[in-house]
Amino acid sequence: MNFKLLKTGLLVAVLGLASCGGDSGTTSSTTGTTPATTVVAANTGTVTVTTVAGNTVSIGASGNNAKVADVTGKAVFTGLTPGAVDVHIFSADGYSAVSYMGFNAASITDTPVGGNSVIDIYVQTINPDPYSFPTYYLTTATNTYNGYDWFGTGNLSFGLWDVTPGVTVSGTLYAVQGNATSSAGNGVSGGAEAINLGNVSLTTTATSGAAQQSFIANFTTPVPAPPLLATVQSVIPPTGMPLQNVSLGTTTVYGATLAPPTFPDTIHSVDIGDHTYSVYAGDPYSFWSRTGTFTVGGSLSVAATLTTAPTMTAGQAGTTLSWTNGAGASPLVVTDIYDSSYTYDWTILSAGGTTSVTLPTVPAGVASPLTIGSPYLVDVFNYKEFSGANYEQIVNFFNGGGTADLEMIGVTGVAYTR
């Protein structure tokens, strides 16, 4: 599972580290290799930031060391003090920002800022299952996107949160329908039959419009019995957080009456995505989740190692935010600042153990994503990655995609005034 699927607008606002422009004391980048991670070279004085062309990138807290990303999306900074620096990326439209606080790396890649594009297609469905509605998936080398025909017209849209409009995207298109089954009587959201509609190359747009291509999904009748996907033996979330669902690939298991799912449970379903699991538990103000890989047809047990959520006092105001981290190792802290419409305005990533952040000065000529005196909401998340990566590698994973064993726990919706 690409971690961006968990991100769904997950933008962070973590600032701080003794000062916004200085050394945070973060773990230095490794020169070796670790399983399922990408090695990131340390900053020796030059940092290359890759983002969306036209975005403004600044280094440090003052806002004075700033550049606009060129047509290739790159902004190169030289003559920096070696070691950890703070990197801030402001979208060209002025509506969002991402900050990497105390990041000791020679390069940073962040493509989600300024993404959010759409692909529209038309699918004619033959032999639809009367007890389920078709779900459509577009799988690329880096992501799987869901598309739904909400009104039964055959017209559907894929939202690509990490790709900008005007980009040609290649992948495989699937139509899935039918009913997955649960041996324990849990509710299951998944398909019993999947049709490969073929490989496609489609161009993203800024808004929905006419379908670019048409397809026919000719399902069999009756719907076939789904194959064995996996048996979930147990899931142990943090104390006080009721388990809400377990996802195996594209199939989700949940309690039939909104109670936690019952285990052990053998799930029968088709699966068109990569073979990853994710589990989710939480209450209205905090949640825990963990992702990893599972063996198709095998068994799975999951237990929390991040056992308590971070806490943040509501009503903070100004440029500095502070919080208390939860229990358990946390090599990455992510803070989101967003408005009442759930538009994520500032995302900040910082080293594990960080307990406060101070927003930097926005460079001249750049619209600030936050308005002084306006109310916002804040989320704080602690992350743990189990394959031995250090902080810089985890940040690379956070926006670079891939499959890894990742755990997160956070508190959501805390009131804040800029």
DSSP for 112-133, please give it: -TT--EEEEEEEEEES--TTS-
- The DSSP annotation for 179-236 comes to --EETT--EEE--SEEEEEEEEEEE-BSS--S-S-EEEEE--SSPPPPPEEEEEEEEE
Cis peptide before 227 (omega within 30 of 0): no
Please give the pLDDT value at position 356. Answer: 95
Under 8 Å between Cβ of 352 and 332: yes
The per-residue pLDDT for 27 is 26
Per-block mean pLDDT, blocks of 10 residues, the chain (418 long) = 28 22 24 36 92 94 97 96 94 89 85 73 93 90 85 90 88 95 95 95 92 95 91 96 94 88 97 90 93 93 94 97 88 90 89 90 94 96 74 58 75 96
Q: Which amino acid is present at 94?
A: G
Residue 232's DSSP bridge partners are 265, 300
Using alpha carbons, select from 407, 289, 350, 404 the residue that is nearest to residue 38: 404
Give the integer Cα–Cα distance in Å for 186 and 258: 10
101: phi then psi, degrees, rounded to nearest 5: -95, 125
C-alpha–C-alpha distance, residues 324 and 321, integer Å = 11
Nearest 5°: the CA angle 73, 76, 80 is: 150
* Single-letter residue type at 236: I
Smallest Cα–Cα separation from 46: which of 31, 16, 67, 18? 67
Residue 276 in tokens: 């990853």
Q: What is the pLDDT of residue 3?
A: 28
Q: What is the pTM of this model?
A: 0.77
The predicted structure's pLDDT at residue 258: 73
Residues in a beta bridge with 298: none
- H or E stretch including 252? strand 251-254
Q: Taking the CA of residue 316 as centre, how many other CA atoms within 13 Å lie in the half-sphere pointing to its CB? A: 19
Decide if 119 contacts 168 (C-beta within 8 A). Answer: no
Using the CB atoms, write b or e for 382-400: b if 16+ within 10 Å: bbbbebebbbbbbbbbbbb
Which residue in the block uniquely carries the two structure tokens 């999947």?
194
Domain residue extents for the chain: 4-111+308-417
Q: How many CA atoms lie within 13 A of 26 on its CB side?
A: 36
The C-alpha torsion from 8 through 9 and 10 to 13, rounded to 10°, is 180
Distance CA 110, CA 398 (A): 9
- Token digits of residue 22: 């200085």
Please calculate the CA angle 325-326-327 and round it to the nearest 5 degrees.
125
The pLDDT value recorded for residue 151 is 81
- Cα within 13 Å of Cα(334), Cβ side: 23
Sequence-ordered list of residues with C-beta below 8 angstroms from that of 130, at least 6 positions apart, any chain: none
